[in-house]
Chain A
Amino acid sequence: MDVKFNNRDPVYVQVIRHFKEQIAKGIFEPGQEIPSRRELANQLKINPNTVQRAYKEMEEQGLIFTEGNLPSRISKDELVLKSVREELIIEAVETFVYSVRSINVPLQEALNLVKDKYEGEKQ
């Protein structure tokens, strides 16, 4: 696991974002065990208190759950997991729309470019 952290967003927010991306990509599967607070801090080279905070927040959002003393796991709730993917897509699209709109690109032109670029990148 390798994550590039920026210095201006709270690290715990960046950790949550990383988890959401892994969930959206299907790398983290429903019910999958996640690293302990200490393991993750060590892998990502960040403060264990920060990981603790990220886990607490994700627990509140229902992204992960913990039963008793067992390791935490990714939620099994398909609805929650689906909404994570949607949230990331909408966020990305909004950013894109905001940028092209600010330089007055017509919708059709933007869409064509998206199509070309998307397919081009894939090959």
Chain B
Amino acid sequence: MIEVKEVSKGFGRKKVLNGVSFTAEKGKITSLIGINGVGKTTIMKAIMNLIPINRGEIFIDGEKLSEKSYEKITFIPDAITLLPQMRIGEAFIFMADFYDSWNEERANELLQFFKLKKSDRISELSKGNTAKVNLLLGLALDVDYILMDEPFSGIDIFSREQIANVFTSHLIEDRGVIITTHEINDIEHLIDKVVLLDNGVVLKEFETEEVRENEGKSVIDVMREVYRA
């Protein structure tokens, strides 16, 4: 389980996170939802210890993030971080050098799944295919937790469907996923849990099936209530 406890973070005078708390369990897909600028990406970077936080604590399976944690948790940013002149095959070698948790077999499987070729150069890929490579590099790691920042943004509908299919496959099975999005439609039926954010605080945290069952509401219904209140 990833536990975010009372985390605050400011950049200069601007407070981005103001005491954010929530949990994300293994085997579940948790979605961080909020409009642009509410601090979704900042939360992910804080979990990965890529930025220092001003207050609060973050635990991964009860422990604070350490060097070893990077073999257990991975972050897929919204844009690919590898050098654009690399070919996909070279990116594989790079990842294998960097991570003990790199799973070549799974990487090749994903390559087929997304219909990509090792000889493709990253800089020459379409936007949708670049997003798929980015996702592939993260998913091919044998980690327990995957953080994905806006995997659907700016991608055509077929690529979106393909990416959504990953969530129902064994490629995700039993891992804990945190995904940020402002496009809930694509994944409404895929997510277990929703954390609604606004102005650096958590407005509501709920299980999707529970609100459907107990209140007869869709995720969007709850969002309307919370954000328009």
Chain B's nearest CB lies how many Å from the CB of A2? 14
With A10-B213, A45-B165 in contact, is A38–B170 under 8 Å at CB?
yes
Is A53 interfacial (CB-CB < 8 Å)? yes
In B180-215, the 8 Å CB interface with A consists of: 188-192, 209, 212-213
Is A109 interfacial (CB-CB < 8 Å)? no
Chain A residues whose CB sits within 8 angstroms of the CB of B164 once the complex forms: 45
**Contact present for A45 and B190 (CB under 8 Å):** yes
In B122-169, the 8 Å CB interface with A consists of: 164-165, 167-169
Is B220 interfacial (CB-CB < 8 Å)? yes
Number of interface residues of B (CB under 8 A): 24
| Binary interface encoding of chain A residues 5-25 relative to chain B, with 1 for a CB under 8 A from any of its CBs, else 0 | 111111111000000000000
**Contact present for B170 and A53 (CB under 8 Å):** no
**Contact present for B189 and A10 (CB under 8 Å):** no
In terms of DSSP, what is the predominant structure of the interface of chain A? helix
Is B216 interfacial (CB-CB < 8 Å)? yes
Chain A residues whose CB sits within 8 angstroms of the CB of B100 once the complex forms: none
**Contact present for A53 and B189 (CB under 8 Å):** no
Contact among B167, B168, B209, B220 for A53, CB-based, below 8 A:
B209
Is A30 interfacial (CB-CB < 8 Å)? no
Chain A residues whose CB sits within 8 angstroms of the CB of B167 once the complex forms: 47
**Contact present for B189 and A12 (CB under 8 Å):** no
**Contact present for A10 and B209 (CB under 8 Å):** yes
Chain B residues whose CB sits within 8 angstroms of the CB of A44 once the complex forms: 168
Is A66 interfacial (CB-CB < 8 Å)? no
Contact among A6, A11, A45, A48 for B209, CB-based, below 8 A:
A11
Contact among A8, A46, A49 for B216, CB-based, below 8 A:
A8
Chain B residues whose CB sits within 8 angstroms of the CB of A38 once the complex forms: 168-170, 173
Expressed in whole angstroms, the Cα–Cα distance for A76 and B164 within the complex equals 35
**Contact present for A42 and B190 (CB under 8 Å):** no
Expressed in whole angstroms, the Cα–Cα distance for A46 and B173 within the complex equals 13
**Contact present for A45 and B170 (CB under 8 Å):** no
Chain A's nearest CB lies how many Å from the CB of B78? 23
**Contact present for A49 and B168 (CB under 8 Å):** no
Chain B's nearest CB lies how many Å from the CB of A11? 6
Expressed in whole angstroms, the Cα–Cα distance for A46 and B170 within the complex equals 13
Chain A's nearest CB lies how many Å from the CB of B63? 25
Chain A's nearest CB lies how many Å from the CB of B160? 12
Residue of A nearest to B191 (CB): A47
**Contact present for A8 and B190 (CB under 8 Å):** no
11 A-B residue contacts at CB 8 Å? A7-B212, A11-B209, A13-B213, A42-B169, A46-B168, A46-B189, A47-B168, A47-B190, A47-B192, A48-B173, A49-B192
Residues of A in contact with B (beta carbons under 8 Å apart): 5-13, 38, 41-42, 44-50, 53
Contacts A9-B216, A48-B168, A50-B209 aside, 13 further interface pairs with beta carbons under 8 A come to: A5-B189, A6-B218, A8-B212, A12-B209, A38-B168, A38-B173, A42-B168, A45-B165, A46-B168, A47-B168, A47-B190, A47-B191, A49-B27
Residues of B in contact with A (beta carbons under 8 Å apart): 27-29, 164-165, 167-170, 173, 188-192, 209, 212-213, 216-221
